[in-house]
Structure 1
Amino acid sequence: MQTDAELREAVARKMTGEAGYKWDELTGGERRGMCLSADIAIRLVVARCAEVAVRIVPSARQRTSAEYHAGWSAALEAASAAIRALAPQEQSHD
């Protein structure tokens, strides 16, 4: 399991060009060919997850406390999964 610092470093390496991630891969084609910094890439992932969260989390009038927390937990899990997907996969040395 990678530490948070190792994960951020891995994402930074991947997003700054080592793995060829480009702006258009995350934004659907805008600013083609522009490499992203890790900070921008992570902000885009979190912003997209926040958009999903707005749809997942019930409105204030409809939600119970448990629904509210479950919705945000799902959104945070989605953000975590998206960021982990950007990091290089660990090699097993078994």
Structure 2
Amino acid sequence: MHDTPHVIGINGSLRDDIGTRVAVQRTLDAAAGAGATIAHIDLREWDLSLFDPDTWAAFEDGSIANRDIADRIEELGEDVVAYAGIADRHGETEQSELATGD
């Protein structure tokens, strides 16, 4: 007997219609359709401005952002399959990373 998988979609793009956001949502929809529970972490909801020096300094020293996001993932469950969509800002391509939790 297997526990129900929990899938977390993490999208790093700030634009609504970008391919990564669509891919994350389609992945979550498919997972839900297959019986998984899902959660979407939308980085637009986090104060992660690359151009805000105060936010960037706090991110670099680990006091905000990276720990907050990790804490949110831990709250959602230990056995997680996560799809992280990361946009490439220097070009028109996007990269995706597939990670699994224990």
The normalised TM-score by structure 2 is 0.35
Q: Which has the higher contact order (CA 8 A, sep 6+)?
A: 2
Which of the two has higher C-alpha Rg? 1
Richer in strand (by share)? 2
The normalised TM-score by structure 1 is 0.37
